[in-house]
């Protein structure tokens, strides 16, 4: 029996991604979106759904939705999403960069950089720190 919670579905989707099955991952992330019970769940699901959108604009829309939902959670439970903001801003920044909107991209990369101290140590934190640094390097070179 599979875990039909948002976290369980996202974990299954990440496993599908790692096995090279983006179609299955997208289906699982869509199921996570449908299973969401609150803004936090929807934020997590939107964050992963953004990765499997057919166009850069759709990717931007889902990333912005994840950020909007994190803001809704932060209004009452800021600690619940504080360490998520650098990743969310990194992804919104990258989406804007892919759309050629470099000023908007820089604003979000800068916001991601401002929150890096909130990231945990370890592989996840290093991945986000590296992504922010690389995004800012690309913009500086543009």
Question: For the residues of 30-80, what is the DSSP string, one character each?
Answer: HHHHHH--SHHHHHHHHHHHGGG-SSHHHHHHHHHHHHHHHHHHHTT-HHH
Question: Token pair 């850069």 is at which residue?
Answer: 56
Q: Is 101 helix (H, G, I), strand (E, B) or coil?
A: coil
- pLDDT at res. 68: 98
Cβ partners under 8 Å of residue 130, min gap 6: none
Number of other CB atoms surrounding residue 23 within 10 Å: 9
- pLDDT at res. 1: 45
- pLDDT at res. 111: 98
| pLDDT lower than 50: segments of the chain | 1
Rounded Cα distance, 68 and 7, in Å: 19
Phi, psi at 14, each rounded to 5°: -65, -35
Q: Which two tokens stand for residue 131?
A: 């992504």
pTM for the whole structure: 0.92
- pLDDT at res. 2: 59
Whether residue 97 contacts residue 134, with contact meaning beta carbons closer than 8 Å, is answered with no
């Amino acid at each position: 029996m599979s875990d039909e919670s948002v976290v369980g579905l996202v974990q299954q989707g990440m496993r599908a991604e790692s096995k090279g099955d983006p179609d299955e991952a997208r289906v699982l992330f869509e199921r996570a979106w449908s299973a969401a019970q609150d803004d936090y769940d929807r934020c997590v699901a939107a964050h992963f759904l953004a990765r499997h959108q057919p166009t850069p604009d759709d990717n931007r829309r889902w990333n912005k939705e994840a950020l909007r939902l994190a803001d809704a959670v932060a209004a009452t439970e800021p600690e619940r999403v504080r360490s998520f903001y650098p990743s969310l801003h990194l992804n919104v920044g990258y989406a804007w960069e892919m759309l050629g909107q470099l000023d908007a991209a820089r604003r979000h990369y800068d916001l991601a950089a401002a929150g890096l101290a909130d990231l945990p140590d370890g592989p996840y934190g290093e991945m986000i720190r590296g992504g922010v640094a690389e995004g800012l390097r690309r913009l500086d070179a543009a």
